[in-house]
Structure 1
Amino acid sequence: MKEVVLITGANGLIAKELAKKIGNEFEVRFLTRKKRQPNEYEWDLKKGIIDESALENVSHIIHLAGANISEKRWTAERKKELIASRVDSATLLRNTLGKKEIKLKSFISASGINFYGTLTTEKIYLENDPPGHDFLSEVVVLWERAADHFKEQNLADRIVKIRTAVVLSEKEGALKKMLPPIQYGIGSALGSGKQYMPWIHVEDICSIYEFALKNANFHGAYNAVSPQHATNSDLTQKIAEVLKKPLFMPNVPAFVLKLLFGELANAILEGSRASSQKIQNAGFQFKFPDLHQALNSLLKKDS
């Protein structure tokens, strides 16, 4: 019998790629708002309902659900949605597990590298550093607290929190948004360009979840970030190099981004480094530790 892994956030990039990666070894189920496949089960956060059959014989939950941070301006309503999509979904799972008296082997939750705050400093953050004081930090703190409750209520043997950096994929996310202007020769860095952009290749983030799933001594918070640090300017230049495109446009001024995105612009204009040493010490090996190598693998697949 294969162990059952239930994944939330079924429509996200990581969920789809991870399911392909672990599908031979585990029985993978998804929680989704609308069932389309036999291994999908419906839930509705607003109504607080879940198809409880999704939890039959479940051993592990990988909690990836959460509204996209950078998709819309941060209105008061949007901020509530960003928190609720992460915290209320975990609470619904926790309450249902408690009602059915199910104990998991592991509850593995997505988290964010913005735990440490949205600011540009020369500090390299470690997992035991305190959280920051801005909105994104607040989101991540509440997100992780919701995960910790599974252990406190004895609903899981171990909790893992994956503090995820910017995931590089040509399919969606930051890289996909950065590609068109560079391809058309009008790409440029954002703001000062000196803000750090902690990043990770999509294959490596999926491998981290697989590693967390299979290693019973893996618990607590981990920075899921490449060992090689890069600024926004570095990333822009490396993309242009791989695509063999010139970069001659001036940086996009900070005030333009603030006009376009409001408070969300802070997450684009600021950023610090985080260390990946803890996860490497635990035995994880990055396949794509180098930015140029990572971009080559994503952007030159047909060459």
Structure 2
Amino acid sequence: MNILITGGTGFIGSTLCSRLLEENNEIVMLSRHPEKIKLPMKAVADLSDLKDSDIFDVVINLGGEPIANKRWSDKQKHQIFSSRIGTTEKLISYFEKLENRPKLFISGSAIGYYGIDKTDNVIEEKERGDNSFSSELCQKWEAVALKAEKLGVRTCLLRTGIVLGKNGGALSKMLFPFKMCLGGRIGDGKQWMPWIHIDDLVGIILYCMSHDNLQGAINGTSPNPVTNQVFTKTLGTSLKRPTIIPMPAIVVKLLMGQMGEELLLAGKKVVPKKALDAGYTFKYRTLEEALINVV
């Protein structure tokens, strides 16, 4: 297939591009630094640089300012918001001008869509969000992406959980303190952590590409979410390190503000119902299996 991708140099995007190239797909990447993109991939700095002869079967939208890198100041919130909404709006405008539109549009989102209210209920794709920043961000991001459906483009909204993989992602920030025996639960440890191994997240994306019955919101999470307390203990066991130094909720709030409250102290029991119902088979169904592979 011919594929256009944004965010292709990120943690998820780079792994995805490697898999797509292994399967002999042709990739064009939208990048702020196209000169840094290595062959066999092509790259453009702007959608206007594409030619009329560039016809894509699939467009994958993973671009956006990292959400957990900095405290959420008003300026940072604006950057996070505009980088996601702006890129998606440009893609929709690009689709509107095309005679030959892509068959599939896969646009990033996150489990933050479901909000921050604590619950132990199982959360499937039909659940609604709330008025937290992370939820409103995802709601508006998805609303823009869904405009592609009105243009006749099958659209999948990938609500990604905590992605576990080597050389990046959330785990890369956790490993050092855990290896130094400084790891421990966050807050009361009862908040859910819907995780997924990066191989399975990429697998779900590829599954969307090959299964026309998949559309709308799709949870990119493992079938077996765990609480923060279980995650902490399992990671410590994998590293053969104790996990006895907790981070109290008050410390999280003081150090990280709203970002810490929404991303570290809140979490829901999100499961990938649509992917399972469509027949996707997970390579890593348990956290133990995933962590053994990664660490």
- Equivalent residue number for residue 295 of structure 1: 291
Distance in 1, Cα, partners of 2:253 & 2:53: 44
After TM superposition, give the deviation of residue 225 of structure 1 in Å. 1.0
Asked if 1:268 is matched to 2:264, the reply is yes
2:274 alignment partner in structure 1: 278
SS in 1 for 2:157: strand
Alignment of 1:137 onto 2:135: yes
Structure 2 match to 1:123: 121
- In the aligned structure 2, how far is the partner of 1:97 from the partner of 1:224? 25
* 1:275 CA drift (Å): 2.0
C-alpha distance in structure 1 between counterparts of 2:284 and 2:146, whole Å: 30
User: Could you list the runs of 5+ residues in structure 2 that have no partner in the other structure?
Assistant: none
- Does the CA contact (< 8 Å) of 1:226 and 1:289 recur in 2? yes
Q: C-alpha offsets along residues 230-285 of structure 1, whole Å, 9 cap, x if unaligned?
A: 11111111111011112222x11111111111110112111111122221010111
Tell whether 2:172 aligns with 1:176. yes
Look up the SS of the partner of 1:58 in the other structure. Answer: coil
TM-score w.r.t. length of structure 2? 0.94
For 1:21-170, list aligned pairs within 5 A.
21-23=19-21, 24-35=23-34, 36=36, 37-38=38-39, 39-43=41-45, 50-53=48-51, 56-154=54-152, 156=153, 158-170=154-166
What are structure 1's unaligned runs of at least 5 residues? Answer: none
Query: Aligned with 1:269: secondary structure?
Result: coil
Please report how far the alpha carbon of residue 54 of structure 1 lies from its aligned counterpart in structure 2 after TM superposition: 9.2
Partner of 1:243 in structure 2? 239
Query: For residues 122 and 92 of structure 1, what CA distance do their matches in structure 2 show?
Result: 38
Q: What code does the residue aligned with 2:54 have?
A: E
- 1:197 aligned residue (188, 193, 200): 193
Amino acid at match of 1:52: L
Q: What amino acid is the match of 1:41?
A: A
Closer/same/farther in 2, CA of residues 238 and 92 from structure 1, 3 Å limit: same
Following TM superposition, the consecutive aligned residue runs of length 4 or more in structure 1 with deviations greater than 4 angstroms are none
**So what's the TM-score if we normalise by structure 1?**
0.91
Give the drift of 1:98: 1.9
Tell me what 2:251 maps to: 256
Are residues 13 and 209 of structure 1, via their aligned partners in 2, closer, same or farther at CA, if it must alter by over 3 Å?
Answer: same
Q: Cα RMSD over matched residues?
A: 1.6
Q: Does 1:213 align with 2:209?
A: yes
Contact 1:10/1:16 (<8 A) preserved: yes
Cα distance in structure 2, aligned partners of 1:298 and 1:41: 30
| Letter paired with 1:166 | I
Quick one: which amino acid aligns to residue 258 of structure 1?
A: K
Residues 190 and 227 in structure 2, CA contact (< 8 A), matched pair in contact too = yes
- Residue 55 of structure 1: how far off its partner (Å): 7.6
Question: For 1:120 and 1:40, how far apart are their aligned partners in 2?
Answer: 44
